[in-house]
Structure 1
Amino acid sequence: MAMKTVTSLTLLLLLFAVLAAGRGTKISRELESSNDEDGICQLIVKTKGYSCEEHKVTTKDGFILSMQRIPTGRSGTKGGPKPPVLLQHGLISDASTWLALSPDESLGFILADNGFDVWLGNVRGTNYSSGHTSLGPNDPEYWDWSWDELVAYDLPAMFDYVHTQTGQKLHYVGHSLGTLMAFGAFSRHEVLSMVRSAALLSPIAYMGQMPSPLARAAADIFTAEVIYWLGVKEFAPGGGPVSKLVADICSHIDCSNFENVITGPNCCMNSSTPSLSHQQPTATKNMIHLAQMIRKGTIAMYDYGSDGDNNKHYGQATPPDYNITSIPNDLPLFLSYGGKDLLSDVKDVQTLIGVLSDHDPNKLVVQYRDDYAHLDFVYAVNAKQLVYSPLMAFFSSN
């Protein structure tokens, strides 16, 4: 039983270490050791010849989030007001997701060069959004959140800040967990007054048909729940005992291709060696919430495990659903998904599309890339031509 628990925990760590995350580049290692004055702007953006601003926004529950702004392209031409766009990364990652490749291949730089006012968000718990008005990462209460709080607090705080700074409604781009945050917020009519349109890459709403055997095994064995009950509130794949577990499993499995086993066979990323040893931390409670979605096939708020505890938090015995059908039918949505994606599975995305069947067909664009897997949407060397150009055309039409 103990060996089964350790093995399944390792599988879970490996699964979510690559879910919508970066590939452990030298840049991300530098980011971990840098401070706010020497951060993403200084290490990545300005070195590529772009202007960049560091911003801070505080959520209503006290988390201090880091944001970066790229106001102009490489030409530096300011011109008139530019349409703002907020880019939101996925799980166990940060804003460097959108900047990891060359300026001609990274969506953050591409948008800046094509006349957008680019804003990059970093959710709570990541290295650059680790501040809080009264708590620290060593306090268990600091990690008492799931993606429910990202929907209720982080995303609204970032939207409101950019809207206030620019005086304009925002375009939005999310990848993986960044899409789940959007679906949750839109379904509860959060931020709708501030959004122009949303592009959702590898959309995550329903996860019940996820075909990855490793993902299903890790969720079904309740491994995240086990470590939560043992008092491990911070889920940090890149250090401590977690790092040792990853190293142990990689001594028996060829981890050089392990991301493809989990995310699907990504067709079009460059050949640089991936690494699963360095990622951003998240809350163990967040991992439990995602595992609940895999097991149940629903999109609902966090399940506290008993009628009594759910009643205490929600006033009802079961967690409230996020009602996707309540998303306004005239909200412009661009969905792009891949045929080889094992996390944003084709069947689950088709379930989502079915739920959106009453959406105004003139406001819903669905793109299907048969050869793309989960990470291709942010790291493929041909994504500019195949995904980002249609995405920008969609923004321009809205």
Structure 2
Amino acid sequence: SERKLVDQMRSAALLCPIFYLGHRPAAAGLGAVAATSAAVGDTSLVQSSLLAAGEFNPLGDASAVNPFGTQSTSVKNLMHLAQLGVQGFVAKYDYGNPVLNEQHYGGEARPPVYHPENIPSDFPLFIAYGGLDTLSVVVDVHSLLHHLRGHKLNALFVPNYGHLDFIFSPTAKDVVYNPLVSFFQRHQ
């Protein structure tokens, strides 16, 4: 939404976009988990919280390790997630001090807010979201889609997918990735 990358890309995909956070049932819990994780320095708390929040039920060999799954993250990123949960909208990281924010954000005392409507309307977007996602909630994704109305937009709603199903579901290739690859091929 800052128009810094749009000239370097032909299109973009947003899978389970967490942009508006007002209706997320997991918001309070994730904020608490992120704050606790930051305090004790244990990112595995957030990872297990995300797995539970998506109500992911893996199939197959439960003892196998997936090297492409959720990864660790920084304490700063956890704190940013907690801030977003409290604010209900997406803004840059709040350093908690107007002077520090001004140093990082060109004299602004508060972190800049991202505005999706600033994305050029002719820039192709693919947005996929699920009906069982407790992080990227349908009502909030619909708010994002509303702000992007008039844009060159392809939306894919998968009613029986939770947040992590977009990565781990055995049907993700057919349900999500084949349409996504077709979208990118159309916009090369």
Aligned position for 1:199:
13
Rounded Cα–Cα distance in structure 1 between residues aligned with 2:102 and 2:64: 42
Cα deviation, residue 225, structure 1 = 8.6
Rounded Cα–Cα distance in structure 2 between residues aligned with 1:346 and 1:327: 21
Rounded Cα–Cα distance in structure 2 between residues aligned with 1:378 and 1:367: 15
SS of 2:139 mapped into structure 1: helix
Give the counterpart of 1:351 among 133, 138, 143. 143
Give the counterpart of 2:31 among 219, 232, 235. 219
Aligned position for 1:298:
89
Asked if the contact 1:225–1:288 (Cα under 8 Å) also holds between the matched residues in 2, the reply is no
Cα deviation, residue 372, structure 1 = 0.6
Q: Which runs of 4+ in 1 moved over 6 A?
A: none
Structure 1 residues 1-398: aligned runs within 5 Å: 187-212=1-26, 215-220=27-32, 223=35, 227=39, 237=43, 261-265=52-56, 269-273=58-62, 280-314=71-105, 315-359=107-151, 363-398=152-187
Cα deviation, residue 332, structure 1 = 0.7
Larger RCO (CA within 8 A; separation ≥ 6): 2
Render the CA deviation track for 1:290-332: whole Å, top value 9, x for unaligned.
1111111111111122333323332122111112111111111
Per the alignment, do residues 328 and 300 of structure 1 end up closer, same or farther by CA in structure 2, a change over 3 Å counting? same
Cα deviation, residue 282, structure 1 = 2.0
Rounded Cα–Cα distance in structure 2 between residues aligned with 1:346 and 1:191: 27
Rounded Cα–Cα distance in structure 1 between residues aligned with 2:112 and 2:62: 42
Rounded Cα–Cα distance in structure 2 between residues aligned with 1:380 and 1:322: 30
Supply the RMSD in Å over aligned alpha carbons: 3.0
Per the alignment, do residues 236 and 274 of structure 1 end up closer, same or farther by CA in structure 2, a change over 3 Å counting? farther
Asked if the contact 2:54–2:163 (Cα under 8 Å) also holds between the matched residues in 1, the reply is yes
Asked if the contact 2:116–2:147 (Cα under 8 Å) also holds between the matched residues in 1, the reply is yes
- Report the structure, 1 or 2, having the larger strand content: 1
Rounded Cα–Cα distance in structure 2 between residues aligned with 1:310 and 1:342: 31
Rounded Cα–Cα distance in structure 2 between residues aligned with 1:311 and 1:275: 47
Render the CA deviation track for 1:184-240: whole Å, top value 9, x for unaligned.
xxx11222222111122112222232112xx5134158725962xxxx7xx5536xx
Per the alignment, do residues 225 and 270 of structure 1 end up closer, same or farther by CA in structure 2, a change over 3 Å counting? closer
Asked if the contact 2:130–2:161 (Cα under 8 Å) also holds between the matched residues in 1, the reply is yes
SS of 2:184 mapped into structure 1: helix
Rounded Cα–Cα distance in structure 2 between residues aligned with 1:302 and 1:191: 19
Asked if the contact 1:236–1:282 (Cα under 8 Å) also holds between the matched residues in 2, the reply is no
TM-score, normalised relative to structure 1: 0.41
Asked if the contact 1:342–1:373 (Cα under 8 Å) also holds between the matched residues in 2, the reply is yes
Rounded Cα–Cα distance in structure 1 between residues aligned with 2:52 and 2:122: 38
Partner amino acid for 1:291? A
